[in-house]
Structure 1
Amino acid sequence: MAILKVIEVLANSNKGWEDAAKNAVAQAAKSVKNIRSVYINEQSATVDDGKIVDYRVNVKITFEVK
């Protein structure tokens, strides 16, 4: 039986939400091993002069505890 743990991570990108999610996983992977999945909990963006300038995601990352 595998033991799984979930952490919540906030990340951003100026390219898009997909890139922000990739940034979250890449940053988490520096200190967390055995990442199994990522769940996009929330998406938001900041707007400047009528244009989106920053994409933000709140993700839940699931990993196996060994």
Structure 2
Amino acid sequence: MAVLKVIEVLSNSDKSWEDATKSAIKKASKSVKNIRSVYINEQSATVTDGEIDNYRVNVKITFEID
């Protein structure tokens, strides 16, 4: 039987929500092994002069414990 753990990570990008999500996984994978899935819990953005300038995601990352 596998034991899984979930952590919550906040990430941002000036390109897209997808890029922010990829960044969260890339950063988390440096210290967390056996990542199995990611769930996008929340998306938001900041706006300057009528344009989105920063995309933000709150993701839940699931990984298997050895």
Query: For the superposition of Structure 1 and Structure 2, which TM-score range results when normalised by the shorter chain?
Result: over 0.9
1:21 is aligned to 21
Runs of 4 or more, structure 1, over 4 Å off, are: none
Q: Which amino acid aligns with 2:11?
A: A
**CA–CA distance in 1 between the matches of 2:29 and 2:46?**
26
- The Cα of 1:17 is off from its aligned counterpart by 0.2
**CA–CA distance in 2 between the matches of 1:17 and 1:52?**
11
SS in 1 for 2:43: strand
**CA–CA distance in 1 between the matches of 2:47 and 2:27?**
25
Q: Which amino acid aligns with 2:30?
A: K
Give the unaligned 5+ runs of structure 2: none
Q: Which amino acid aligns with 1:4?
A: L
Give the unaligned 5+ runs of structure 1: none
Q: Size of the alignment, in residue pairs?
A: 66
- The Cα of 1:42 is off from its aligned counterpart by 0.1
TM-score, normalization: structure 1? 0.99
Aligned-CA RMSD value: 0.2
1:41 is aligned to 41
SS in 2 for 1:38: strand
